[in-house]
Amino acid sequence: MKTIGILENTVQEYAWGSLKAIPDLLGKTNLSQQPQAELWMGAHPKAPSYVVCDGQKRSLMELIKQYPREILGDKTAERFHNELPYLFKVLAAAKPLSIQAHPSLDQAREGFRKESAENIPLDAPNRNYKDENHKPECICALTPFWALFGFRTVADIRVHISKICPLGLADELAQLNSQPNSEGLKHFFTALMTLNEKSKTRIVDETRQNAGRFTHEDATYQWIMRLLEENSSDIGVLSPTFLNLIELQPGQALFLPAGELHAYLEGVGIELMANSDNVLRGGLTPKHVDVAELLQVLHFESRPVTILEAQIVSKNERSYPSHADEFVLSVITVSDRLAYLSPDLRSVEIMLCTHGRALLEDIDNQNTVELNKGSSVVIPAAVRNYRIVGNCTLYKAAVPI
């Protein structure tokens, strides 16, 4: 495959998804009226994109197997064993997602090996590891986007818990006071995750009685009340008290490494990650929660949150600092006065148009593809030079060179 391919992608329908955001992006009517949560662009076995190639519609995963070096480029094919190393998504959250973390590469390989040896089916609800890959990820806001990410300082946690649950968590507060470090944080979180049902109910009830008194002071308590509406008996409703609460503005991004506890709460964003579906959940979900495995994966350190701003690459391309070997996310703005020309060094790229219209031209082969809002394409490494003309905004997934 040596030409630009138009992608047909799978929309994942999860309960927390939006009824409108992804259909509006794609210019389609949501006939089923089911929440549409994620649009997947890539070659993950669960939902690979499809490409029209030589008159046939074939999965991108199959095409990469057949033409690994043409699509990926020699270096990327060799480094990532003839597989596309990233998964590109649009994420549309109308309700909070689960509290979760992702394993490191070594943890993913060991977890996958162990669960496979135990003959746990890949689609079993109690399976933690769906593949052998880690899942660092970057989320970039298209709308105001709320998230929880990384543990707050112990001082912050003590202040918030003292307001909403001073009685039910008195022992845990005392322990944090006597051990205000990462080990104390681990003990505190472990205590929350291993509460018996009676204690959990008592603590959630106390939280419900108190949090509403402070909603005018801090968005932390507003989110606790919202989480209580969706998860009336889940200890995860306390998560805004011990995780950093963040509101990204459009164009701002976060990088989430392995082992960091997080949850997306509300908003629409572009998500780029290593090609994996490994998730270890800790609450705010009816899905499988494996506390012991989650505790093995997590980093128990308070951390400041670094909000990423796009950095200038060229006159009309800006990229987000990538801390991953598998991917880098950038945004391209094309106007009548300024076309986009492909870089000299590049690997396989996937592009999504989020605004406007443009023409994407393979210069050597004189092949032109029309881009409209919601359309996406894969540009193989074998396409040596291309240009984009028109008026549009594009998000590009690429492999760092």
Residues 108 and 46 in one domain: yes
Is residue 208 in a domain? no
**Rounded distance between C-alpha atoms, residue 76 and residue 398, angstroms:** 11
% of the chain residues with pLDDT over 90: 89
Residue 389 banded pLDDT, cuts 50, 70, 90? very high
Residue 231 banded pLDDT, cuts 50, 70, 90? confident
Is residue 218 in a domain? no
Residues 119 and 15 in one domain: yes
Interval 186-201: pLDDT, tens: 999 999 999 999 999 9
3-state secondary structure the chain: CCCCEEEECEEECCCCEECCHHHHHHCCCCCCCCCECEEEECCCCCCCCEEEECCEEEEHHHHHHHCHHHHHCHHHHHHCCCCCCEEEEEEEECCCCCEEECCCHHHHHHHHHHHHHCCCCCCCCCCCCCCCCCCCEEEEECCCEEEEEEECCHHHHHHHHHHHCCCCCHHHHHHHHHCCCHHHHHHHHHHHHCCCHHHHHHHHHHHHHHHHHHCCCCHHHHHHHHHHHHCCCCHHHHHHHHEEEEEECCCCEEEECCCCCEEEEEEEEEEEEECCCCCEEEECCCCCCCHHHHHHHCCCCECCCCCECCEEEECCEEECCCCCCCCEEEEEEEECCECEECCCCCCCEEEEEEEEEEEEEECCCCEEEEEECCCEEEECCCCCCEEEEEEEEEEEEECCC
Is residue 89 in a domain? yes
Is residue 38 in a domain? yes
**Rounded distance between C-alpha atoms, residue 219 and residue 223, angstroms:** 6
C-alpha distances in angstroms, 367 versus 5, 147, 358?
10, 41, 14
Residues 134 and 258 in one domain: yes
Is residue 216 in a domain? no
Is residue 254 in a domain? yes
**Rounded distance between C-alpha atoms, residue 204 and residue 256, angstroms:** 28
| pLDDT value of position 303 | 83
| pLDDT value of position 323 | 86
| Overall average pLDDT of the 18-41 stretch | 94
Interval 66-117: pLDDT, tens: 999 999 999 999 999 999 999 999 999 999 999 999 999 999 999 999 999 9
C-alpha distances in angstroms, 357 versus 79, 88, 259, 372?
35, 21, 40, 5
Residues 37 and 136 in one domain: yes
Residue 30 banded pLDDT, cuts 50, 70, 90? confident
| pLDDT value of position 56 | 79
- Average confidence score pLDDT of the chain: 94
Residues 49 and 11 in one domain: yes
pLDDT over 70 at 293, yes or no: yes
Buried b vs exposed e over 178-207: b needs ≥16 C-beta within 10 Å?
A: eebeeebbbebbbebbebeeeebeebbebb
Residues 342 and 270 in one domain: no
Point out the catalytic residue in the list 152, 158, 226, 281. 281
Q: Residue 355 belongs to a domain with what CATH number? A: 2.60.120.10
Q: Which residue bears the tokens 């949501």?
A: 30
Interval 330-358: pLDDT, tens: 999 999 999 999 998 999 999 999 999 99
CA 58 to chain CA centroid, Å, is 26
Q: Which residue bears the tokens 């994942």?
A: 12
C-alpha distances in angstroms, 293 versus 150, 152, 194, 385?
18, 22, 13, 47
Is residue 22 in a domain? yes
Domain end point (choices 283, 305, 335): 283
Residue of 232 and 324 predicted with greater confidence = 324
Interval 101-158: pLDDT, tens: 999 999 999 999 999 999 999 989 999 998 999 999 999 999 999 999 999 999 999 9
Q: Which domain holds residue 366?
A: 313-398
| pLDDT value of position 54 | 67
- The neighbouring-strand residues paired with 340 are 388
Residues 381 and 342 in one domain: yes
C-alpha distances in angstroms, 56 versus 51, 260, 364, 380?
8, 42, 23, 17
pLDDT over 90 at 32, yes or no: no
Residues 125 and 12 in one domain: yes
Residues 26 and 141 in one domain: yes
C-alpha distances in angstroms, 244 versus 155, 176, 219, 236?
12, 17, 11, 14
Is residue 378 in a domain? yes
Domain total of the chain? 2
Residues 19 and 88 in one domain: yes
User: 124 near 43, Cβ under 8 Å?
Assistant: no
pLDDT over 70 at 322, yes or no: yes
pLDDT over 70 at 242, yes or no: yes
Look up the pTM and report it. Answer: 0.94
| pLDDT value of position 150 | 96
State the distance between the two ends of the chain, measured CA to CA, in whole angstroms: 21
| Overall average pLDDT of the 35-55 stretch | 91
User: 352 near 372, Cβ under 8 Å?
Assistant: no
| Structure tokens belonging to residue 241 | 């008290």
CA 255 to chain CA centroid, Å, is 9
| Structure tokens belonging to residue 65 | 């197997």
| pLDDT value of position 25 | 96
What single-letter amino acid sits at 201?
A: T
| pLDDT value of position 55 | 73
Residues 28 and 112 in one domain: yes
Residue 202 banded pLDDT, cuts 50, 70, 90? very high
pLDDT over 90 at 35, yes or no: yes
**Rounded distance between C-alpha atoms, residue 227 and residue 172, angstroms:** 22
Residues 267 and 351 in one domain: no
| Structure tokens belonging to residue 267 | 């908003």
Active site residue 387: no
% of the chain residues with pLDDT over 70: 100
